[in-house]
Structure 1
């Protein structure tokens, strides 16, 4: 699923490419910056492994949909999409009519692909949370989800390697935004995601200690 062209008249003819990240890392991406002074300049989420994402491509199992609008005569749909590492939260309202209609019409569980914009908001406990404002919500096959896991794992490892080598502006921005982020944790999530797709049960640290 590739990005498509815009035909706007503001000088920007192409959408930013959609980046891949697992749900655990995406949920940690609480820092967003705007690239430019114009109010229409694109906004980017800073991924902890060293990537700036204006748009994301997420795939997983849609486990729940709910109209969470405050008014009975309006709609604001929430979807929960689970990948091998955690949950993406997806929110679509009147400004995302096609995505909202897709969420309204789907019955969980269903494998889906989500393309959309990262957004942050403050939770009830004051923590910054990250969600996706979808451009599209599409049913997919399990094989497509599995391929996304493999490709996301490869791209995540490439970013981790660049971070550990202090390579690139995006890596420097991520290190500044998340000074306590541990690349070993994201490397572990890659292994767990690949193992789940392959049907392999990894031994936990607790199990290892019990065997010693």
Structure 2
């Protein structure tokens, strides 16, 4: 498939990810990529995160369908894996918790009957990692988030769209980053 390039995985803290509710397709084709736009303007088609896998549960009825909760210093991500993510589902089924894991996956949103938007991740891969890898991810996610916060005054299309939709408070997300970095001091 000539010309195909995989989207870069974005680094977003759980708190910002869970505050996100604006999803859209980039194009009119049914094969157009789906994105989640975060309050600081990250246009997320694929996400890379590292955190502590706190719990796993098989919530499937007839087939195995696994839910996991992965925490970073700002909150937690919900991940769901089943028959279409067999490697990720296997890790969730076999992993002893708590454990440091890295996850690459696609953001997913679900709108409840009340109109609330719930975010989760469909993992493409999950790997067991060490504490140092988790700490490096926190630094990396902090740098990416700070860069987006500093760009909030730009005229970028997606940043403008995020600011309009979320009424983004730069100080709120700056404080989130500072809180996340505190874990590295311990």
Residues 104-183 of structure 1: pairs in structure 2 closer than 5 A: 104-123=93-112, 126-163=115-152, 165-179=153-167, 181-183=168-170
- Count of aligned pairs: 186
Shift in Å, 1:97 = 1.0
The two structures have a TM-score, normalised by structure 2, of 0.95
Q: 29-38 vs 120-129, which deviates more?
A: 120-129
Query: 2 CA distance for matches of 1:196 and 1:125?
Result: 35
Map of 2:10 onto structure 1: 19
Map of 1:197 onto structure 2: 184
Unpaired stretches in structure 1, ≥5 consecutive residues: 1-8, 200-212
Q: Which has the higher contact order (CA 8 A, sep 6+)?
A: 2
Map of 2:85 onto structure 1: 96
Unpaired stretches in structure 2, ≥5 consecutive residues: none
Is 1:35 aligned to 2:26, yes or no? yes
Runs of 4+, deviation exceeding 2 Å: 122-126
Query: 2 CA distance for matches of 1:88 and 1:124?
Result: 21
- CA-atom RMSD in angstroms: 1.3
SS of alignment partner, residue 60 of structure 1? strand
Residues 167, 161 of structure 1: alpha-carbon distance in 2 compared, 3 angstrom cutoff: farther
1:73-106 CA distances to partner (integer Å, 9 max, x unpaired)? 3111000000000000000111111111111111
Larger Rg: 1
The two structures have a TM-score, normalised by structure 1, of 0.84
Shift in Å, 1:14 = 1.4
Query: 1 CA distance for matches of 2:53 and 2:3?
Result: 33
